[in-house]
Amino acid sequence: MRLLLLALLSTLTACSPVVTTNHETLSSPDGTIALTFQLDEGVPRYAVARDGVELIRPSPLGFVLKDAPSLTNRFRVVQVQRVEGDETWKPVWGRAAEIHNRYNQMEVQLRESKAPRRKMTLAFRAYDDGVAFRYVLPEQSNLGTVNILSEETAFRFGDNYTAWWHPVDYNGDEKLYRETLLSKMEALNTPVTMRTPPGVHLSVHEAALVDYASMTLVPVPGDPNSFKCDLVPWPDGVKVKATTPMKTPWRTIQIADRAGGLLESHLIENLNEPCAIADTSWIEPMKYMGIWWGMHIGKETWAAGPTHGATTENTRRHIDFAASNGIRGLLVEGWNKGWDTWFNGATFSFTEPYPDFDLPSLAQYAQEHGIALIGHHETGGNIAAYEEQMEAAFALYEELGIHAVKTGYAGEILPKGQHHHGQWMVNHYQRVVECAAAHHIMLDVHEPIKPTGLCRTWPNLLSGEGVRGTEYEAWSDGNPPEHTTIIPFTRGLAGPIDYTPGIFATTFPKYREGRRVHTTVAKQLALYVIIYSPLQMAADLPENYEGQPGFQFIRDVPVTWDETRVITADIGRHVIVARRKGQDWFVGLIIADSSATFDLPLQFLQPDRPYEMTLYADGKDADWESNPTSLEISTRTVQSRDRVNLRLARGGGAAIRFRPQ
């Protein structure tokens, strides 16, 4: 119902099918991007150009199958159908109030020219912000069961671009990104983001990953700057097990003339199905605190014992603090029995609280104080144990009025041999999303399958990790200052990131000597604007926020936006993002391991209108290493014609709020 109401404008114009040549071009609506399909002696290939410059050279498409001939050659074109799509839809939450979905589509129906004469369709779309394509294998008598050994999709890039990538890992994306030339790139997880010498930015990923394996990329030996799809396998080596009719996820290539264009793109969400949840009124983006950081720094424990974090008393203290500071959510980890089995077979109970955690009374106490409790399901990777209890576990939370759950998959997947990113787990993550939706529960998935825009269809899939987040600052060498200037343009293009910012006590020698956060406090604040998530954590301990004027920014900053504009960005160096909520604007500026001065133009503000600007900036002597907590807060009146001169400290940042006066 909501969907119908929200489809402000939707047109899908079909043109009559034409029998074609072996060479077809599809242009983006604005004509800048051209995707070319060609059939070379029966082998299907595609190429992509922007403003006449080839970004992807003719690259093969097809499948190698188990116990069946490959679907890679001997094709002829049966027909080509062209369609134009143009709709504007309103997300339940997001980076913009409305999203324009405008594209040209071309479906190329192929058939083998010799027996077994199987059919395969390639659906191509050209948008103003990139291209996408997917394979469709229709139901057919000579192709029923499909066991894919290899998807042959290749990406033969036009030149030796600069790239941001992390090495392949079938189990996750909690990595630091590398900046290298394509020629130095090894096997990798997507998204991978690139810059051409003239400054065009592109990023390869996928959309609508459903009942299929995740795509990784591997270099093609002997073909410089060429990479090939390598799907995450099942334990027996098969990549995807399916029956026709079937379709693959979309292979996506986002393209923009500047880094910021990638961040403003909605291509991946646009390629997903519309919202499948009829009544979304219970879906509530929010900021949250947690009984969480204390465990990571070693102040408290997940398991019951003398320093157990999730006690009734400690939870009440957190509820009181969140309630008096206008933070809506509270995550409690370590509430349930089984934490002593973590990483050791992981047999958690998802319905039985530890004796010192009075779940029903806390649910009531939270409700009375206007706090939304966020439940926690750490599976440790033991999927069978979780699936057995999942229904009852969500039902319990629903009954208690708890509408959000953070899930976790920290550990090797059981059954052994399955991977976090394989088809079997893709299907598990999807079952959880749908089961949660049936119980009116929103999800924040840690150790997730990488996002592919499914939150358009299932907006209860609020956020997720799949990134090297703040937790690494507590117990590892941490996240170097450039990390957060890269992840918005890599992992962040795929979907919301639960990065868990907001650490004010950047060292914690009382609990863990030698570990630290690698930013200034001003940069921690800026991350709420830079990194998008409809769930944003105020991750530090309540006592570290007590009496801190900088905490006001966390109280004020929204988690959904009407408009997003990237002012400027140089991946790995600095990022400046402006986001609007109603009449208010918020700006975040962050920098890597250097200091710099920026002259921020305020043209995004409405002209001839005074705004109150509250600036949270690095102090004059701030430096992420030697003086991270030096923060200067100031307020003044500005207008759109003004510029604000800002000095960002090494590893620093600034967070700004503009309110019309």
Toward Ca ion, which CB reaches closer, 337 or 446?
A: 446
Please, what is the minimum distance in Å from the beta carbon of residue 333 to ligand NOJ?
5
The interface with ligand NOJ within residues 291-320 (CB under 6 A) comprises: 292
Toward ligand NOJ, which CB reaches closer, 129 or 333?
A: 333
Is residue 451 within 8 Å of residue 207, measured between CB atoms?
Answer: no
* 151, 269, 284, 333: which one binds ligand NOJ (CB under 6 A): 333
Please, what is the minimum distance in Å from the beta carbon of residue 631 to Ca ion?
28
Please, what is the minimum distance in Å from the beta carbon of residue 498 to ligand NOJ?
8
Q: What are phi and psi of 469, to 5 degrees?
A: -90, -170
Toward ligand NOJ, which CB reaches closer, 82 or 446?
A: 446
Q: Which does 87 bind (CB under 5 to 8 A by kind): ligand NOJ, Ca ion, none?
A: none
Please, what is the minimum distance in Å from the beta carbon of residue 294 to ligand NOJ?
10
Toward ligand NOJ, which CB reaches closer, 300 or 482?
A: 300
**What is the x/- site pattern for ligand NOJ, positions 152-181, by CB under 6 A?**
------------------------------
Both tokens of 382, joined, read 């033991």
> Is 471 a catalytic site residue?
yes
Cross-sheet strand order for the sheet of 240-243? 63-65, 145-151, 240-243
**What is the x/- site pattern for Ca ion, positions 459-498, by CB under 5 A?**
------x---------------------------------
Q: Which does 408 bind (CB under 5 to 8 A by kind): ligand NOJ, Ca ion, none?
A: ligand NOJ
The interface with Ca ion within residues 427-466 (CB under 5 A) comprises: 446, 465
- Pick the closest to residue 230 from 295, 319, 168, 310 (CA basis): 168
d(CA 344, CA 216) in angstroms, rounded, equals 29
Both tokens of 145, joined, read 């069961």
Q: Count CA atoms within 13 Å of residue 33 on its CB side.
A: 27
Both tokens of 176, joined, read 């630091």
* Residue 473 touches ligand NOJ, criterion: CB under 6 A: no
Please, what is the minimum distance in Å from the beta carbon of residue 378 to ligand NOJ?
4
CA distances from 371 to 302, 304, 328, 480, 497 (A): 22, 24, 5, 34, 22
d(CA 319, CA 362) in angstroms, rounded, equals 9
Q: Which residues contact 394 (CB under 8 A, 6 or more apart)?
A: 405, 435, 436, 438, 439, 441
Cα torsion 324, 320, 296, 416 to 10°: value is: -110
Report the phi/psi class of residue 550: left, alpha or beta, with left for phi > 0 and alpha for psi in -120 to 50.
Answer: alpha
Set 87, 300, 378, 471: catalytic member = 471
* 410, 414, 435, 633: which one binds ligand NOJ (CB under 6 A): 410
Please, what is the minimum distance in Å from the beta carbon of residue 466 to Ca ion?
8
* Residue 335 touches ligand NOJ, criterion: CB under 6 A: no
Please, what is the minimum distance in Å from the beta carbon of residue 465 to Ca ion?
5
- Pick the closest to residue 368 from 322, 412, 409, 336 (CA basis): 322
CA distances from 103 to 86, 89, 196 (A): 7, 14, 24
Toward ligand NOJ, which CB reaches closer, 375 or 408?
A: 408
Cα torsion 384, 387, 388, 393 to 10°: value is: 140
* 378, 444, 482, 540: which one binds ligand NOJ (CB under 6 A): 378
Toward ligand NOJ, which CB reaches closer, 210 or 410?
A: 410
* 403, 420, 446, 523: which one binds ligand NOJ (CB under 6 A): 446
Both tokens of 298, joined, read 């070693």
Q: Which does 618 bind (CB under 5 to 8 A by kind): Ca ion, ligand NOJ, none?
A: none
Q: Which does 284 bind (CB under 5 to 8 A by kind): ligand NOJ, Ca ion, none?
A: none
Toward Ca ion, which CB reaches closer, 87 or 465?
A: 465
Q: What are phi and psi of 207, to 5 degrees?
A: -130, 150
Q: Which does 333 bind (CB under 5 to 8 A by kind): ligand NOJ, Ca ion, none?
A: ligand NOJ
Please, what is the minimum distance in Å from the beta carbon of residue 492 to ligand NOJ?
17
DSSP labels for 29-69? TTSSEEEEEEEETTEEEEEEEETTEEEEEEEE--EEETTS-
Q: Where are the alpha helices (DSSP H) in 334-447?
A: 359-368, 383-399, 423-438
Binding positions for ligand NOJ, rule: CB under 6 A = 292, 333, 378, 408, 410, 446, 465, 471
Binding positions for Ca ion, rule: CB under 5 A = 446, 465
- Annotated catalytic residues are 471
